[in-house]
Amino acid sequence: MLIQTYDTIRTMQLIQLAVSRGFHRWTGGVVRYDRAEKLAEKFTDIYGVNPDRAHDMRLRRAGAARSRLVFLPDSALLSFVWWLLVSEGAGPVVEGEQLRDATDRRNRIMLRDWELLRAPRRQTHEAVAWTWRLPEKEFQARLALACAVATHESAKQAQALIDAMRSWPGFHGIAQQRREIQDAMVGARRKVGRGDALALPPHPPWPRLLEMRRHGTSLPIAVERMRQQVRTGDTQ
């Protein structure tokens, strides 16, 4: 069993892809770096997570539940956030875990500030697609703050806020929210007669799925890096 870990953007992409392919039942949590490999071994032994392609196909043909285990390193906290994603079907993982359904708005998968959901996609043939975005309450709070900042006499603070949005992930749901906030800021500034224009950045680049293998780090190596942090006292 080889479990790869990825950065935040690619972890979001990996989860989004798995859920869109039917792995919408899930559970998750946080595990200390020195317990992460044992957790992975436990799930592999009991549930057969992340099977090879041949085994995965056999389970699929039998209508059995298949599972994917995803880890996101958090070096600042010397831990890993993990998600166990499960497909439809019966099996030990369904009996052994209390699974939630990502299609239920009360049980959406969260990663950092973002939630995973199905939402309309503009300018595409897909009426609804899985994407990430800020939860509505958080989005409205940021929108209100951004509009208030935009009305200041100096555009410096408003421009800094817009520039900070460059680091937001490039998923279409987030991109739509970012554009809505930026357009609202421009409108709020124009409404109070502020002259300085705001420079809106282009959309951030999208990490291609083909790049994921080259950018992954195996779980043992990710654990060893955190172990080295502890040895050297290089903790944040």
pLDDT tens digits, one per residue of 73-104:
999 999 999 999 999 999 999 999 999 999 99
pLDDT tens digits, one per residue of 209-224:
545 556 789 999 999 9
Q: Tally the domains of the chain.
A: 2
> Any idea what the Cα angle at residue 204 is, between residues 196 and 149, rounded to 5°?
35
Same domain, 12 and 67: yes
Same domain, 24 and 97: yes
**Could you count the other beta carbons within 10 Å of the beta carbon of residue 5?**
22
Return all residues near 46 (Cβ < 8 A) that are at least 6 apart. 92, 93, 96
Name residue 64's beta-bridge partners. 90
Q: Is residue 122 part of a domain?
A: no
Name residue 69's beta-bridge partners. 84
- Its domain, for residue 161, covers 135-192
Average pLDDT in the 132-146 region?
97
Same domain, 35 and 91: yes
Same domain, 105 and 27: yes
Q: How far, in Å, are 80, 88, 111, 144 from residue 137 at the CA level? A: 27, 31, 16, 11
Same domain, 81 and 158: no
Q: Which of 168, 226, 218, 228 is nearest to 6 (CA)?
A: 218
pTM score: 0.89
